[in-house]
């Protein structure tokens, strides 16, 4: 539900801008208010799920390793070799 609200705010902002090159003071205030609301909602989502991205990446890596064990070992060896070379 939060993502729907964030998407709606982003849509509102895009519609408000709509290719304009200049904004009136009122339009600028309205956009700043929408951006502040968006920032607040994003901060709330990050507080509720601080490690969700980390969890997702870890799960994806584990799934890849389970599905492709040989490719995973090759990638690990390449990473180790690059690290030893200082890259």
- The confidence band for 36, taking pLDDT boundaries of 50, 70 and 90, is confident
Mean pLDDT of the chain: 76
Ranking 10-14, 36-40, 42-46, 83-87 by mean pLDDT, the lowest is 42-46
Cα separation, 12 vs 41, whole angstroms: 15
Percent of the chain with pLDDT over 90: 0
Helix (H, G, I), strand (E, B) or coil at 76: helix
Cα 59 from Cα 63, distance rounded (Å): 6
- Does position 60 have pLDDT exceeding 70, yes or no? yes
Give the pLDDT mean for 55-69: 77
* Structural domain boundaries in the chain: 2-48, 52-85
Band of residue 50 on the pLDDT scale cut at 50, 70, 90:
low
Please count the CA atoms within 13 angstroms of the CA of 38 that sit on its side-chain side: 16
pTM over 0.85: no
């Amino acid at each position: 539900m939060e993502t729907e609200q964030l998407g709606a705010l982003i849509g509102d902002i895009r519609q408000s801008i709509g290719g304009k090159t200049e904004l009136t003071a009122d339009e600028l205030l309205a956009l700043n208010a929408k951006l502040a609301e968006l920032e607040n909602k994003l901060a709330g989502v990050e507080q509720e799920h601080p490690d969700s991205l980390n969890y997702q990446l870890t799960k994806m890596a584990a799934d890849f390793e389970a599905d492709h064990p040989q490719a995973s070992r090759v990638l690990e060896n390449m990473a180790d070799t690059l690290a030893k070379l200082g890259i």
